[in-house]
Structure 1
Amino acid sequence: MKEAAKGLVPASSSVNEGAAPLVERLIAAATELRIGVERLENGVTVLDGGIAVCGSVAAGIAIGEICMGGLGRVRLTTSGGAGAAEGGWPTWLEVASAQPVLACLASQYAGWSLSASKEEGGGKKFFSLGSGPARALAAREALFDELRYRDHAASGVLVLEVDRMPPPVVVDKVLRDCELAPEQLTLILTPTSSLAGSTQVVARVLEVALHKAHELGFPLADVIDGDARAPLPAPSPDAGVAMGRTNDAILYGGQVHLTVAGGDEAARDLARRLPSSNSRDYGRSFADVFRDYDYDFYRIDPALFAPAEVWVSSLESGRTWHAGGIDMALLRRLWLDEA
């Protein structure tokens, strides 16, 4: 066990190489999954998950696995654990990874800030947080210094939660920072108001737990395995409502099980501090919270960005601690119109 916990991530693993065959399969199934495929004049491949096309939940699942660098599994289920048994919601996503730190933080996490001014963006400002394997090629975030990881693959894929094509200045920055030729880069665009967009965001339920554990100071090298689930809401054509629903799915419906090394006290403390119910902003829809803070993410209590219910198991003692709980009654009020 001590041997398994030595390094934060396997230095030999390439999240971009792991994602490459998944990208190829997504392109091959483009018609079936209702996604668009375009090759820009400069050679960059762009996959549209829901801007000019309808997209699909299945595409969102595939994009979720691409975001995890091929090191995570995402699947659709109608069981939903205890939530469905309580009459909570019919469709859930299940996520699992045997390399959760690498899959979630070095790849899936939306941490690369990309922006363009009004002039650079063709008359409209552009901003997006890039996620997926290409982040590890650029390694522009301080997180990569802590992880002691950088990818050196010959191709890369980046996911952007946007409703329009990024301007050329942003594409050029990605190419430059990733040290890729245009034909080596794939961009996947997934507006949250689309089926694929909502799905790939909810598929971040395990990543949200990993990020929160990191913020709490839990040693990332001690996170050995992880699995999670969350209910999948219908997307809304209103981008703000869609964002609120995907956040609520994790904050009030997300269930996460982490297996960790280290002592029992640290495992128990992590379980106690991890759930979203520790936040002063807990109990209201994320859309309302966001609005009340004048749409400023940084004014929201950081403790809110966490799954609703957690289990933390210690590999050293075999003990498991549980904290938090899902609130399907709240989600039903927010999401469901009775026939």
Structure 2
Amino acid sequence: MSHSSGLSVNAGVLSLVEDMRLRAAELRISVSQGPAGETLIDAGSTVPGSIEAGRLMTEICLGGLGTVDIGSSPYLTRWPFTLTVRSSNPVIACLGSQYAGWQLTSGEGENAYFSMGSGPARALAGREDLFRDIAYADKSEQATIVLEAASPPPEDLVRRIANDCDIAPENLTIVFAPTQSLAGSVQIVGRVVEVALHKAHELKFDLSRIVEGMGTAPLAPPHPDFITAMGRTNDAVIYGGRIMLHVTGPADEAKALAEKLPSSNSNDYGRPFADVFRQYEGDFYKIDPMLFSPAEVEVVSLESGETYRGGAVDPKLVDASFG
């Protein structure tokens, strides 16, 4: 595995982590030291957090290789405010960093801790097959991991994460926020491009040919109920997300990608995500993985200059989900 790109996602987020630390009061977050000496940034568990904290959290997830903007769009009349993600290194930003692919577990029974790790630390640990597929690894003395969780990991797990990243625990930063929080809802909607790249990978498209990625999705209103909150953040992408990818290589393959990528190709498409989740009795792995994709896709073929399109935003389903 080569670190051929010369890009370090862990070095790339140090200024963003520092920004969160310096602006903690303004962002309504808390920064503390954990039992192993790690830095803990609570962005929405015991603190209110903020949309801005979620925006920074999303840029951290992207390894400093993407920009995240809050703006507005006339596309969904009832939900005008949107989150827009852009990256000129979309494969490393989204799959090499942002993708929540590192399973973190500790303990058993009532005391069990489980979370999926996302963010730059994954590229130091390299525990997932995905890193072989994208031929990326990182080298850094500092690591940052982002967790969609209501509490930080226990000390034994923190030490294991640091060990897997080959760093000292005091050089590890853990940013966490639950799905139900302001920041949590933002960082999940901020995966609008990442889910498209992950699906392109599943469809066996050559990822090295995706040279630009941008996407936008409506900001989902948080909800105190976990399943409702999770449903809304997923629906923001599945029924309200729009992406554009610029690709090299044969135009017919760009056209095929645009046709296959949208969420509407999934058998589970057509109902709010919370309903789908309940139908499968909360078993994520029974849900058709092809559902996790943006509603509307544009693929620009740099070879032909043509833009190929697939799917469409579904305002009714966004309304049904967001309330």
Q: Same fold (TM over 0.5)?
A: yes
AA partner of residue 206 (structure 1):
V
For structure 2, list consecutive stretches of 5 or more residues without a partner in the other structure. Answer: none
Query: Which position in structure 2 is the counterpart of 1:150?
Result: 137
1:70 lines up with 2:61 in the alignment: no
1:208 lines up with 2:202 in the alignment: no
AA partner of residue 19 (structure 1):
V
Whether the 8 Å CA contact 2:150–2:176 is kept in 1: the answer is yes
Query: Which position in structure 1 is the counterpart of 2:104?
Result: 114
Query: Runs (4+) of structure 1 moved beyond 2 Å?
Result: 8-11
Q: Distance in 1 between matches of 2:211 and 2:74?
A: 23
Whether the 8 Å CA contact 1:9–1:101 is kept in 2: the answer is no
How far is 1:332 from its partner? 1.2
Q: Distance in 2 between matches of 1:42 and 1:173?
A: 11
How far is 1:16 from its partner? 0.4
The one of 235, 239, 249 equivalent to 2:222 is 235
Whether the 8 Å CA contact 2:74–2:80 is kept in 1: the answer is no
Q: Distance in 2 between matches of 1:77 and 1:124?
A: 41
Q: Map of 1:74-89 to 2, 5 A cutoff?
A: 74-78=68-72, 80-83=73-76, 87-89=77-79
1:53 lines up with 2:47 in the alignment: yes
The two structures, once aligned, show a CA RMSD in angstroms of 1.4
Query: Which position in structure 2 is the counterpart of 1:274?
Result: 261
Identity level (%): 51
Query: Which position in structure 2 is the counterpart of 1:3?
Result: none
Whether the 8 Å CA contact 1:9–1:147 is kept in 2: the answer is no
Whether the 8 Å CA contact 2:11–2:142 is kept in 1: the answer is yes
Q: Distance in 2 between matches of 1:197 and 1:46?
A: 15
Describe the superposition over 1:172-207 as per-residue Cα deviations: whole angstroms up to 9, x where unpaired.
Answer: 110110011011100001101000000011011010
Describe the superposition over 1:128-169 as per-residue Cα deviations: whole angstroms up to 9, x where unpaired.
Answer: 110000000000001111111111111010001111121122
1:30 lines up with 2:24 in the alignment: yes
The one of 147, 151, 176 equivalent to 1:164 is 151
Q: Distance in 2 between matches of 1:181 and 1:76?
A: 35
AA partner of residue 297 (structure 1):
F
How far is 1:245 from its partner? 0.5
SS at match of 2:13: helix
Whether the 8 Å CA contact 2:28–2:50 is kept in 1: the answer is yes
AA partner of residue 180 (structure 1):
I
Q: Distance in 2 between matches of 1:184 and 1:41?
A: 13
SS at match of 1:186: strand
SS at match of 1:210: helix
Normalised to the residue count of structure 1, the TM-score between the two structures is 0.93
1:188 lines up with 2:178 in the alignment: no
1:100 lines up with 2:87 in the alignment: no
Describe the superposition over 1:309-331 as per-residue Cα deviations: whole angstroms up to 9, x where unpaired.
Answer: 00000111101101100011111
How far is 1:81 from its partner? 4.8
- Give the direction of change, closer, same or farther, for the CA distance of 1:146–1:334 in structure 2 (3 Å limit): closer
- Give the direction of change, closer, same or farther, for the CA distance of 1:115–1:233 in structure 2 (3 Å limit): same
SS at match of 2:32: strand
SS at match of 1:253: coil
Q: Distance in 2 between matches of 1:241 and 1:75?
A: 25
Q: Map of 1:247-286 to 2, 5 A cutoff?
A: 247-286=234-273
Number of aligned residues: 323
AA partner of residue 124 (structure 2):
L
Normalised to the residue count of structure 2, the TM-score between the two structures is 0.97
The one of 279, 282, 298 equivalent to 1:311 is 298
SS at match of 2:231: helix
Query: Which position in structure 2 is the counterpart of 1:298?
Result: 285
How far is 1:41 from its partner? 3.4
Query: Which position in structure 2 is the counterpart of 1:4?
Result: none
AA partner of residue 150 (structure 1):
A
Whether the 8 Å CA contact 1:289–1:300 is kept in 2: the answer is yes
- Give the direction of change, closer, same or farther, for the CA distance of 1:204–1:10 in structure 2 (3 Å limit): farther
SS at match of 1:46: strand
How far is 1:10 from its partner? 4.9
SS at match of 2:239: helix
AA partner of residue 64 (structure 2):
G
AA partner of residue 125 (structure 1):
A
